[in-house]
Copies of this chain bind each other. A is one copy, B any other.
Amino acid sequence: MNIDAASKGISRATIKDVAKHANVSVATVSRVINKNGQVAKGTSDRVWIAISELKYTPHAAAKGLRSHRTQTVGFLVPEISAPFQFPLLRGIEMIARKSGYSLLIHATEDIPLLSQPLRPIGEHNTDGLLVLVGSLTEEEILYFYRLKFPIVLICQSAPQSLDIPTILFENKSGAKKIVDHLIEVHGYRRIAFLRGPAKMEDSYWREQGYYESLKAHQIPIDLNLIGMGEFDEEAARITVKNWMKEKLEFDAIFAGDDESAIGAILAIHDMGKRVPQDIAVVGFDDVYLTHARIPPLTTVRNPIVEMGQKAMQQLVQLIQTGIADMKTLLPTELIIRHSCGCTDNTSE
């Protein structure tokens, strides 16, 4: 029992205590716990009993300092925001726990990591990083790349085509599917698009899918029908309200994500019109509560939990073996509910 610990009222058993209690050396205790090296069955049993009796668990810092492994990974987000990140976190946490990694979460909030004298997260306190789009600058990504520090990018391709593993949704085909549906099933021709933030790849590819569907159906692109949705409820609401005030004509809105779809629906109600009778609205993502809206939202389902799992699996592999898949594309699924004008779906 050391003085420091005692002064804090904490007296934790160390590997030394376990060794003494089991009448072996600390090296043997270490071998038993880490299941490396040969240990006689009887010895190993004694050690496990000692561990259990002393309620011993290895000190993470000591282990990390010696072994150069923190058994910890970091999840970087630009800021904590709910609808999309939660299923992602769920998938990540699930695999992290199963793989024996602790999970650190950190919001970068536009504060450069390297500029801080005591960096909040990085190679000094994790074995690898999961980087959600928007959380790191290209420069910061390059910093980790040059260090050969394991990172996996989520919803963002590697800059300069570097070999950094990336997980993406099949945005273009998903977008095409839902616009095809609006055109082929419902006969809409004037379909507005609410685009997401300019720099986001998800947004770019969804827009491409929208164009592709229009083109395939010989519908000319009308730039007046393309507005800022910003993947944001309030921004979308304002855009759609303005459209309606300007008497812009459209019979359906393809919102770049569900957040903006909800903003669109709210705007349409604000203006005294109905969804989908007057204007149909569809979204993208299928996040929390879209099924429980009235009308239930037709959207493209992204396998977000699976994305978190895949990302974490790739990171674990990268840390442990040095290799991982450079590009993982996750397929999307068209979810037809009522906001597009369909009424006879049985699913919920």
Chain B residues positioned under 8 Å from A70 (CB to CB): 60-61
Nearest 8 CB-CB pairs, A to B? Answer: A61-B64, A9-B148, A60-B125, A82-B86, A61-B65, A80-B90, A61-B61, A57-B119
Query: Which of B55, B58, B60 contacts A114, CB < 8 Å?
Result: B55
Chain B residues positioned under 8 Å from A33 (CB to CB): 117-118
A221 at the binding interface (Cβ < 8 Å)? no
A105 at the binding interface (Cβ < 8 Å)? yes
Are A103 and B105 in contact, CB atoms less than 8 angstroms apart?
A: yes
Query: Which of B117, B149, B288, B292 contacts A51, CB < 8 Å?
Result: B117
Chain B residues positioned under 8 Å from A109 (CB to CB): 97
A153 at the binding interface (Cβ < 8 Å)? no
Chain B residues positioned under 8 Å from A16 (CB to CB): none
Alpha-carbon distance A5/B62, docked complex (angstroms) = 17
Chain A residues within 8 Å of B, Cβ to Cβ: 4-5, 8-10, 12, 33, 48, 51, 55, 57-65, 68, 70, 72, 80-83, 85-87, 89-90, 93-94, 97, 100, 102-107, 109, 114, 117-125, 147-149, 233, 262, 265-266, 269, 288-289, 292-294
Query: Which of B10, B90, B104 contacts A147, CB < 8 Å?
Result: B10
Are A86 and B80 in contact, CB atoms less than 8 angstroms apart?
A: yes
Chain B residue with the shortest CB-CB distance to A51: B117
Distance from A102 Cβ to chain B, minimum over Cβ atoms (Å): 5
Are B97 and A107 in contact, CB atoms less than 8 angstroms apart?
A: yes
Chain B residues positioned under 8 Å from A105 (CB to CB): 89, 93, 103-105
Distance from A88 Cβ to chain B, minimum over Cβ atoms (Å): 10
Are A12 and B123 in contact, CB atoms less than 8 angstroms apart?
A: yes
Query: Which of B51, B58, B65, B262 contacts A124, CB < 8 Å?
Result: B58
Distance from A185 Cβ to chain B, minimum over Cβ atoms (Å): 24
Chain B residues positioned under 8 Å from A93 (CB to CB): 80, 105-107
Are B51 and A59 in contact, CB atoms less than 8 angstroms apart?
A: no
Alpha-carbon distance A50/B58, docked complex (angstroms) = 34
Chain B residue with the shortest CB-CB distance to A266: B292
Chain B residues positioned under 8 Å from A82 (CB to CB): 82-83, 86-87, 288
Alpha-carbon distance A143/B266, docked complex (angstroms) = 50
Distance from A107 Cβ to chain B, minimum over Cβ atoms (Å): 6
Q: A123-B12, A288-B83 are in contact. Are A118 and B57 (CB under 8 A)?
A: yes
Distance from A49 Cβ to chain B, minimum over Cβ atoms (Å): 12
Chain B residues positioned under 8 Å from A122 (CB to CB): 57
Chain B residues positioned under 8 Å from A80 (CB to CB): 86, 89-90, 93-94
Are B106 and A121 in contact, CB atoms less than 8 angstroms apart?
A: no
Distance from A262 Cβ to chain B, minimum over Cβ atoms (Å): 5
Alpha-carbon distance A97/B89, docked complex (angstroms) = 18
Alpha-carbon distance A4/B68, docked complex (angstroms) = 8
Most buried by B among A5, A80, A94: A80
Chain B residue with the shortest CB-CB distance to A319: B8
Chain B residues positioned under 8 Å from A269 (CB to CB): 294
Alpha-carbon distance A85/B86, docked complex (angstroms) = 9
